[in-house]
Amino acid sequence: MTVANGLYTIQIEMLDGGHGRARGIIVLRDGKIAGGDSYFYYTGSYTGDRGKWRGELVTHEHTKSAGTLPLFGGREVTCGFTGSYSADGAQVQGTALVGKTSVLFHARLQLQSEF
């Protein structure tokens, strides 16, 4: 079993040193990642086998947040992750490099539609 190609919802929670949450969509297809939320879009790559996967992605801000300063605001941020997957979703733990600060995060992905 490999990571299913498809459209996923994603819920991200920052841990240890960064407080924040995000919800968005993400597409996983043949080792490539594309997705986004209200303020950022994500691009990257992954590999997976036997229920474990790893990868990296870069977040880019596409819309400024009015009245708040997002943790990643105005920065291109590189994230590395590892985790597990099943037929209907995945989870990851990772580290985002925000300037000179490392921020841990956890994310859950729920498969919405395969393709």
Q: How many domains does the chain have?
A: 1
Count the helix, strand and coil residues of the chain and give each as a percent rounded to the nearest 5: 0, 70, 30
Phi, psi of 103 (to 5 degrees): -120, 125
Domain extent, residue 90, equals 6-114
For residue 49, give the CATH number of its domain: 2.40.128.380
Tokens representing 76? 């291109």
pLDDT at 103: 86
Instruction: Give me the tens of pLDDT residue by residue for the chain, a chain 115 residues long.
Output: 789 999 999 999 988 655 678 899 999 999 999 999 988 899 999 999 999 999 999 999 888 877 665 666 667 889 999 999 999 999 999 998 877 888 899 999 999 999 9
Q: Are 70 and 63 in contact (CB under 8 A)?
A: no
In a domain, 1, yes or no: no
pLDDT at 81: 98
pLDDT at 102: 85
What's the whole-model pTM score?
A: 0.89
Tokens representing 61? 């801000």
